[in-house]
Structure 1
């Protein structure tokens, strides 16, 4: 019994430290530039209030990355990951045409 408890603790510590390290590594990821080709294709703006509403009619006030289902951070995080921009962070107050309201 002691060995399985020891194994569990060692495994838990390993998993927790791996998670902490990967979260820190992602926190150091670069922010998406609006000039990035993917950002331009998706109409990404770091400030949702600056979205070209004529070009992106889907946009509605109140939509921003922080309340999008793809946003990988907490709504209170200034920047977090998004699968649309692999390895880069988007602004919580940003928006792109892939926006999908969080349930």
Structure 2
């Protein structure tokens, strides 16, 4: 028979373990697959893994220095090679990439 004290302790430890594992699972999901340049959404937005290869004729808005890493939509941390972008749900973009939705970070 388990005492009330043992139950509360075990419940607390179990809850903490569950919360910790949830955080780890969230981190793993956030690190989704990289967006492929031939992905339909990527094609529509002119996404390129290397910003220097952006189609300047098709996307005249592109300017040197614009990269996903300095875009307002980029969800990675400074210095990360890749990070999430809400335009490509569940996938990551290259920090050195570019697409036509680029917006200056505040």
When residues 13 and 39 of structure 1 are mapped into structure 2, their CA distance, relative to the original with a 3 A threshold, is same
Counterpart Cα distance in 1 of 2:105 and 2:24: 25
RMSD, aligned CA = 2.0
Give how far 1:16 is off: 5.8
Matched, 1:83 2:86: yes
Report the count of equivalent residues: 95
Query: Could you say if the C-alpha distance between residues 39 and 14 of structure 1 is closer, same or farther in structure 2, counting changes exceeding 3 Å?
Result: same
Q: Identify the residue that residue 22 of structure 1 maps to in structure 2.
A: 26
**Structure 1 residue 55, shift from structure 2 partner:** 0.7
Which of residues 63, 68, 78 is equivalent to 1:65?
A: 68
In the superposition, the TM-score normalised over structure 1's length comes to 0.80
Gaps of 5+ in 2: 1-13
CA contact (8 A) 2:29 2:90 kept: no
Alignment of 1:1-103 (within 5 A): 18-27=22-31, 29-103=32-106
Counterpart of 1:24 in 2: which secondary structure? helix
SS in 2 for 1:57: coil
When residues 20 and 62 of structure 1 are mapped into structure 2, their CA distance, relative to the original with a 3 A threshold, is same
TM-score (norm 2): 0.78
